């Protein structure tokens, strides 16, 4: 059973790799962003608290996010396995997640760390383009649309645009922030003997193959 956390800097292709794994293994995708949004939409008392915090521009406290995750796990079919993407972000959250998972007897199988060299990330992110119609993300270097200038998903021949923060200086800044935030997190999982690092500098297909191999190896251990 695959129960995994995906970690990787912006531009590591984490979202794409996570999607492959979810499609291939049928695991549940646990996104804290989505949990927060749906709590707000459902208007639960926790959801209303979150809406208030967000309206004031604040960060939702760890305790609330962890509560949402606990509730979600309690209402889910855990036998499918799951993949956390975008959570935890720091070692305190990681520690608490370990407790929540242990209580439900669903410990992590491993933590996948997609490692990329910063120069490659800069190239990757500066090649990123969004479909102005449906929002799908392409990369002019690594993952271009099949027909140039036309979105594969929605067929729109509208503009593929570059987000303002996909320029080199802002990318380097995001990488620095990511590194300082996640270094302790990596150390935490390393000490817990859960961390598996994959070189994610190649193209999406190459990295997907490495990820597939890691998953096979890790699942064979259990
Ligand atoms: Zn589109």
pLDDT(103) > 90: yes
User: Residues within 5 Å of ion ligand 1 by Cβ?
Assistant: 131, 133-134, 136, 151, 153-154, 156
Q: Is 129 a catalytic residue?
A: no
Q: What percent of the chain has pLDDT over 70?
A: 100
Centroid of ligand 1 to alpha carbon of 81 (angstroms) = 31
Centroid of ligand 1 to alpha carbon of 158 (angstroms) = 8
Residue corresponding to tokens 């997609």: 114
pLDDT of residue 191: 97
CA–CA distance from 168 to each of 14, 127, 165 (Å)? 19, 10, 8
CA–CA distance from 215 to each of 1, 25, 125, 164 (Å)? 10, 10, 26, 35
Q: Determine the Cα–Cα distance for residues 163 and 160; give it in Å rounded to an integer.
A: 10
Residue 212 lies in a domain: yes
- Residue 101 pLDDT class (50, 70, 90 cuts): very high
Q: Are 36 and 65 in contact (CB under 8 A)?
A: yes
Q: Determine the Cα–Cα distance for residues 200 and 175; give it in Å rounded to an integer.
A: 15
Centroid of ligand 1 to alpha carbon of 173 (angstroms) = 28
Q: Is 174 a catalytic residue?
A: yes
pLDDT(64) > 80: yes
- Residue 97 pLDDT class (50, 70, 90 cuts): very high
**Joined tokens for residue 151:** 């979105």
pLDDT(222) > 80: no
CATH at 96: 3.40.50.300
CA atoms within 13 A on the CB side of 43: 0
Centroid of ligand 1 to alpha carbon of 137 (angstroms) = 8
pLDDT of residue 121: 82
Question: What's the chain's length in residues?
Answer: 222
pLDDT(26) > 90: yes
Question: Mean pLDDT of all residues in the chain?
Answer: 91
Q: What percent of the chain has pLDDT over 90?
A: 57
Mean pLDDT of 195-219: 93
Catalytic residue, candidates 89, 136, 172, 212: 89
Centroid of ligand 1 to alpha carbon of 144 (angstroms) = 12
Query: Which tens digit of pLDDT belongs to each residue from 142-195?
Result: 789 998 888 999 988 878 888 877 788 888 888 888 888 888 999 999 999 999
Catalytic residue, candidates 3, 19, 80, 128: 128
pLDDT(50) > 80: yes
Residue 139 lies in a domain: no
Residue 127 lies in a domain: no
pLDDT of residue 196: 97
φ, ψ for residue 97, nearest 5 deg: -65, -40
Q: Is 172 a catalytic residue?
A: no
Query: Looking at the 3D structure of the chain, how many domains does it have?
Result: 1
Residue 108 lies in a domain: yes
How far is CA 32 from its chain centroid? 10
Q: Is 14 a catalytic residue?
A: yes
Q: State the residue range of the domain holding 12.
A: 3-116+200-216
Catalytic residue, candidates 19, 37, 174, 212: 174
pLDDT of residue 47: 93
CA–CA distance from 121 to each of 4, 10, 66, 126, 207 (Å)? 23, 8, 30, 8, 14
Residue 138 lies in a domain: no
pLDDT of residue 10: 82
- Residue 6 pLDDT class (50, 70, 90 cuts): very high
Mean pLDDT of 17-37: 93
Residue 84 lies in a domain: yes
Averaging pLDDT over each range in 19-23, 88-92, 152-156, 175-179, which range is the top one? Answer: 19-23
Residue 95 lies in a domain: yes
CA–CA distance from 122 to each of 12, 113, 128 (Å)? 10, 18, 10
Residue 126 lies in a domain: no
């Amino acid at each position: 059973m695959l129960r995994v956390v995906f970690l990787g800097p912006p531009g590591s292709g984490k979202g794409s790799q996570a999607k492959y794994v979810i499609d291939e293994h049928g695991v549940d995708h646990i996104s804290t962003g989505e949990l927060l949004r749906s709590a707000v939409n459902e208007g639960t008392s926790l959801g209303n608290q979150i809406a208030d915090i967000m309206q004031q521009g604040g960060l939702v406290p760890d305790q609330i996010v962890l509560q949402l995750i606990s509730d979600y796990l309690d209402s889910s079919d855990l036998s499918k396995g799951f993949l956390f993407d975008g959570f935890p972000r720091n070692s305190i959250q990681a520690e608490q997640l370990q407790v929540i998972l242990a209580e439900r007897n669903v410990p992590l199988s491993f933590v996948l760390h997609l490692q990329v060299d910063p120069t490659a990330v800069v190239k990757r992110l500066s090649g990123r383009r969004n479909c102005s119609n449906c929002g799908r993300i392409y990369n002019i270097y690594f993952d271009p649309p099949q027909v140039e200038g036309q979105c594969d998903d929605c067929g729109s021949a509208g503009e593929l645009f570059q987000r303002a923060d996909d320029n080199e200086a802002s990318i380097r800044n995001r990488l620095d922030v990511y590194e300082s935030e996640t270094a302790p997190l990596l150390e935490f999982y390393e000490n817990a003997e859960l961390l598996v690092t994959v070189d994610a500098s190649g193209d999406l297909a190459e990295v997907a193959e490495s990820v597939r191999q890691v998953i096979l190896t890790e699942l064979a251990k259990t």
